[in-house]
Amino acid sequence: MSFAAISKLQRILGNRGFTNPKLEREFQKGYRSYGVRFLHISSMLAACSFMAFWLVDGLTGRRGVLDDTQLIRFSVAVLFMVFGQLVQHFKRFFKRHYAKTSSCLVCFSALTTGYIAHIGQINAPASSAYWTLTSAFVLATLVTYGFARLNAINTLLLGGFMMAVALAFGAAVPDFDGPGYQRMVIHLFAANALGHMLHRLSMSRERKLFLQSRRKNRVADLRRMKEQAEAADRAKTAFLANMSHEIRTPMNGVIGALSMLNVDKLTERDRLFVKSARDSAKNLLDILNEILDFAKLDAHKVRLTPTTFNLRDTIVTACESFRAAALQKGLQIRGDVSGVPFEVKTLTADEGKLRQVLLNLISNAVKFTQQGEVVVSASVNLLDKQNAQLVIDVSDTGMGIPEAALERLYQPFYQVESGTSRSHGGTGLGLAICKQIIEEMGGQISTRSAIGVGTTFEITLEVPYSTVEQNATDGLADQMMFRDSVPPQDQDWKLTGDVLLVEDNEVNAFIASMTLESLGVTCHQARNGEVAVQMFREKAFDVVLMDCEMPIMDGYEAVRQIRAIESEDTARERTPVVALTAHALTGDREACLERGMDDYLTKPFDRHMLAVTLGKWLPMTVSATATSD
Ligand code: ATP
Ligand code: MG
C-alpha cells in the first residue's frame, strides 16, 4: 500500500499523524510506552478474572475443579499471567514490536473469550448462545479500538478476523439460524463503528495532551535554562569582582614599592625599567577598576549621588585630562559649550558618574583616531522652569565603526577589532559601563558612525538645572576627592603632624609608613582596630588612616569607638579619619562617610594621592621639583 493511501486511510480513521516526522516519532514513542503499560495491566486483569471464574465455579460445586472447561479457564489465566510478566520484563521488545504483539493479544483474548462463551452455551438455546457470543466479541472489539493503540491496517485486519471467528463459533451452535447471523454481523459492525469513534476521540485527545505537556516541558526547560544562565552570569560577575578585589591588594605593594624607589640613584636604564613597571602596574589597576565597576553596576549595587555642578567645568576638565595624550598623537581636542544657554549656571546629576562616562568616551575617541580632532560638545534645552534636556556629543574623525558592529558595541567585552589582530588595548568594558550608568540615570546613549569619516557618541539626559551660580570652591574640592580626576603632578609635598596608620597587611603597612615618613609626617602604627582604639585613647593624633577590613576589630567598629571616646571627652577635637580600602568604587566612599569617616582613599594609592588627601587635613608646603616621570 502506498504511503499516500495509508495516510488517507489514517485520516479517515482519525489517526492522522503530526506533519513533523520528529514530533510524530516522539508522540508514537510516548504513546507506545503507555500502551505497553496497558498491555501489562490488562493481561493481569484478564488473568485475575479467569482465575475468579475458575474458583467460583469450582467452589460452588457447579462443576468439578478440574473438568475440561475448568482446565481451559485455569490455563488461560496462567497464560495471561505469563504474558503480563513477559511484557513487564521485555518492555523494550514490546515497545519496538508494539502493533504486532498487541494484535496477537487481542486475537488471543477474542478467541479464548469466544471459545469459552461457546463451550458454555453449546447446549443452550440459540438466543442465549447468540447473546453470549455477540457480547464477547463486541467487548473484544471495543477493547481493541479504545485501548490497544493499533495503527489503521492492524485495526482493519483485526476487525475482519474477529468477525470471521465470531461467525465460525456461531456456526458451531445448533439452531443458530440465518437471522441470528445477520444480527450478529450488525452488532459487530456497530461495535466497530463505536470502537472507531472511541479510538478517534482518544487519539486526538492524546495528541492534544501530548502537545500541551510538550509545551509545558518546553517552558519549564526554558525557565530552567534561563535560571542556570543567570546563575552562571552572576557567578562570573562575582568571580570577576572577587578576583579584581584580591589582585588590588598585592598591587598596593607593587605600586607603593615602585613609587618609593629612589629614582635619583638609578642609572638611566634602570629608571626606564622602573617607569615601565610603574606604568604597567597602573594600567593593570585601571583594568581592575573597570572590571569592578562593571561588576557592581551589573549587580545594580551602585547608588547615584546627585550633586549640583558646573557643566562647563566638567567638560573642560574631562578634555584637559586627555590633552597630553591627544597632543602626542597630533590630535586636536576641544570642548564646545556654545549650546548651553548663558542663564544655566548649574545642573544636578551624579557628576562623578557623568565624568566617568565622558572620560570613557573621550578615551575611545582619542584611542581610535589617528588624525584630525576630538570634539566634546554640550547643549542644554530648557524643558520647563526646573528641568532641562542635556545632550553631550563626543565626536571624532577616526576610523569609524562598521554598521554590523554598532548593535553589539555596548555588550560587555565586545571589541570591534578582536582576536590576534587587535592593535589597541583595553577590556571592552568601557561602553558597557557607560550604557549602564546612563541608563541608571534615566538617559540614553547612541552612536552614529561612518567608516573612515568618524564616530559620534551622543548622551541624552533629563536633569534639573539652576540659574544661580554655585560656590566655586565646592566644585574644586569635589574634584580633589574624585580619584580619577587627580592629575599627575611633579611636585614635592611636605606635611607635618602625627598620623595613626591602622593596617593589618605587613607589606601595605610598611609601604604606607615609608611613604608617610617621606612626606614628613610621624607615623604610628596599629595592626587592628582594637589596638588602634587603645592607642587613640592614650594619645591624640592629627589624622587616622584606617583600613576597613581587619581581623579582631574592623575599621568601621574602630571608628565608632573612636567617635564615642571623642564624645565622652569634650576637650578632644574631632580627629579626621581617612578610610583605606581596596573597595574601589565610588559608592563605597559614601558608605565610609556614613559610618563616621571623613575621607576615603582607595588602595593601592601612590605617594601623590596620599599627599593630596592628607593635605586637606594637615599643614602642607608644596615645592615644584621634577620627579622621575
Ligand atoms: P576599554 O574601554 O575597556 O579600555 P575598549 O575601548 O576596547 O576597552 P569600549 O570602550 O567598550 O572598549 O569600546 C568597544 C569597542 O568599540 C572598541 O574596542 C572599538 O572597537 C569600538 N569603538 C569605541 N569607540 C570608538 C570610536 N570612537 N571609534 C571607533 N571605534 C570605537
Ligand atoms: Mg574604551
pLDDT over 70 at 129, yes or no: no
Evaluate if residue 489 carries a pLDDT over 80.
no
- The DSSP symbol for 302 reads P
Ligand 1 atom nearest residue 454's Cα: 28
Instruction: Give the long-range contacts of residues 113-116, CB within 8 A, separation 24 or more.
Output: 113/137, 113/139, 113/140, 114/140, 114/165, 114/166, 114/169, 115/72, 115/169, 116/69, 116/72, 116/73, 116/76
The CA distance from 432 to 22, in Å, is 42
**Residues 583-596 pLDDT 10s:** 655 566 777 888 88
pLDDT of residue 253: 78
Average pLDDT over residues 96-115: 73
Q: Which residue has better confidence, 95 or 458?
A: 458
Per DSSP, the three-state class of 104 is helix
| Confidence band, pLDDT 50/70/90 cuts, at residue 146 | low
Confidence class of residue 229 from pLDDT cuts 50, 70 and 90? very high
- pLDDT(551) > 50: yes
The residue among 479 and 569 whose pLDDT is bigger is 569
Centroid of ligand 2 to alpha carbon of 233 (angstroms): 22
Question: Between helices 152-172 and 126-147, what is the axis angle to 10°?
Answer: 170
Q: Poorest-confidence range of 41-55, 330-344, 365-379, 510-524?
A: 41-55
Give the number of whichever ligand sits closest to the CA of residue 429.
1
Ligand 1 environment, Cβ below 6 A: 290, 360, 364-365, 368, 396, 398-399, 401, 409, 414-417, 426-432, 455
CA distance linking residue 549 with residue 503, whole number of Å: 9
* Residue 314 CA, ligand 1 centroid: distance in Å: 22
- Summarised one tens digit per residue, pLDDT across range 502-539 is 988 888 888 888 888 888 899 999 988 899 999 998 88
CA–CA gap between residue 188 and residue 114 (Å, rounded): 13
Q: pTM of whole model > 0.85?
A: no
Helices of type H across 520-620: 529-538, 555-568, 586-594, 607-615
Place 448 in a pLDDT band, splitting at 50, 70 and 90.
Answer: very high
Lowest average pLDDT, out of 100-104, 474-478, 562-566, goes to 474-478
Distance CA 282, CA 602 (A): 13
**pLDDT above 70 for 560:** yes
- Tell me which residue has its CA closest to atom 10 in ligand 1: 430
For residue 417, report the distance from its CA to the centre of ligand 1, in Å. Answer: 9
Average pLDDT, the chain: 80
Nearest atom in ligand 1 to 433's CA: 11
Give ∠ CA 617-618-622 in degrees, rounded to 5. Answer: 115
Q: What is the mean predicted confidence (pLDDT) over 86-109?
A: 79
- Measure 407 CA to ligand 1 centroid, in angstroms: 13
Give, for ligand 1, the residue of 289, 415, 423, 437 to mutate: max count of ligand atoms closer than 8 Å to Cβ. 415
CA angle, 226 then 232 then 236, to 5°: 145
Cα–ligand 1 centroid distance for 239 (angstroms): 24
Report whether pLDDT(99) > 50. Answer: yes
**Comparing C-alpha atoms, which of 181, 113, 186, 183 is closest to residue 144?**
113
CA triple 24-30-33, angle to 5 deg: 135
Q: What is the pLDDT of residue 487?
A: 38
